[in-house]
Amino acid sequence: MQTPRAAGDYVPSPMDASALTAQLEVLGAISVVLIYWWYVLVPNARVNLAVNKRKGKLQDYLVELKNDDSKKIERWFYSTWLEKIDPETKYLLRDDKNESEKSIPPAVPTIPEYKFEETLQEVIKNAKKAPKFWSGDNPVIVGTALTLGLASIFGFFSEVLSK
């Protein structure tokens, strides 16, 4: 025996195939754009950045920044890149917390790292290596995680508050 329904009850209807087709077309277009971005745009940008850090305006800027004491925040932000310019930059960027620590020589002498000069072809070859897709510096992954996380939080609170 069927129970009587109220006039306002929701009754699901079968999904229209044209709506499903449209959704698949949108997902396909997004996938094509994502694949193009990951396999074409990102590697080209990495190569351009590597060459620019090696022999370009960015290299000139980093050398200028290394010698400029007035730009402490920028020096902190680019500290990893500045350390790669030459080994003494790491010494120059250290924090001077205590004057007495500077005068005490280290107990174990440090051995300087051997740095070799990469050719431009090696720089380009290394820059073309694709980073891990599922890493935290992939903006697609970070954006998706933030969107899903915030949607989950808002969905949870809307359920809790509606009761």
Q: What is the mean pLDDT of the chain?
A: 78
Residue 118 to residue 123: CA distance in whole angstroms: 6
Angstrom distance (rounded) from CA 32 to CA 90: 43
- Tens digits of residue pLDDT in 88-124: 555 555 555 454 445 555 555 554 454 556 677 777 7
What does each C-alpha distance from 159 to 9, 136, 141, 145, 156 come to in angstroms?
20, 30, 27, 21, 5
In this prediction, residue 146 carries a pLDDT of: 94
Which residue, 123, 142, 125, 146, is CA-closest to 133? 142
Q: Model-level pTM?
A: 0.49
pLDDT, residue 114, reads 46
CA 71-72-78 angle, to 5 degrees, is 90
